[in-house]
Amino acid sequence: MTLEQWTNVDTYMQQHVAPEANELDWVLQANAAGELPQIDVSPNQGKFLQLLIRITSAKRVLEIGTLGAYSTIWMARGLPEGGHITTLELEESHAVIAQANLDQAGVSHRVKLIQGPAVESLHKLIESETAPYDFVFVDADKPNNPNYFELALKLTRPGSTIVFDNVVRDGEVVDASSNDDSVQGTRQFFDLAAQTPNVTWAAQQTVSSKGYDGFAIGFVTA
């Protein structure tokens, strides 16, 4: 099995189940023109996030790691009337392109982009006693994943959903002696998940046009 095969199958499925992804190609083109790293969710993954939003009837969404807002736009298009996304991004250059894309996509009225280190932004959201989020998508710097999990728990309620991207990383997640901070951050996240009785999880390995990776989905129960 090769990346070429995974990409062919991903494209085949996307053309059948998510043809509307073609309408969002301009976002990826704008991101490439702005020299952003090409680590957006894949089109099928964007559709998957959008369906999770709809399946869970989420109205208030928190995203950690905006990049060029490709995932944000997919999720925004799954929100009901009155729905809202808060998305957090460290890099100003990414935030500028993301905001232009959100404007162009016609969803900026339902998205608030906060630029700065996400841990700080999350603390500010907690201090401001913002209403709990129904759905959290964590997709930023992986060494902070344990922090993002703990802070997300303060911003959610029983019944909320928390999704972590990139929890497999070519299978490196099982390498306890890895020197990669991202792998260690993900391993610390899994340890924390195992010790948190009020969140129940499923984690899936995936192959796609982005290679071999995976995601974890948590449901806050109490």
- Give the binding-site size for ligand DHB (rule: CB under 6 A): 4
Closer residue to ligand DHB in complex, CB, 63/165: 165
Residue 20's binding partner out of ligand DHB, ligand SAH, Mg ion, none, with CB under 5 to 8 Å set by partner kind = none
Write out the binding residues for ligand SAH, residues 71-100 only, by CB under 6 A: 71, 88-91, 94
Residue 88's binding partner out of ligand SAH, ligand DHB, Mg ion, none, with CB under 5 to 8 Å set by partner kind = ligand SAH
With binding defined as CB under 6 A, does residue 165 bind ligand DHB? Answer: yes
With binding defined as CB under 6 A, does residue 139 bind ligand DHB? Answer: yes
With binding defined as CB under 6 A, does residue 132 bind ligand SAH? Answer: no
DSSP codes of every residue in 4-58:
HHHHHHHHHHHHHH-GGGGGGHHHHHHHHHTT--S-SPPHHHHHHHHHHHHHTT-
**What letter would DSSP give residue 113?**
E
User: In Å, how far are 158, 164, 193, 199 from 93, measured between CA atoms?
Assistant: 36, 24, 33, 35
How far apart, in whole angstroms, are the C-alpha atoms of residue 179 and residue 86?
Answer: 33
- Residues in contact with ligand SAH by CB under 6 A are 39-41, 65-67, 70-71, 88-91, 94, 117-118, 139-141, 144
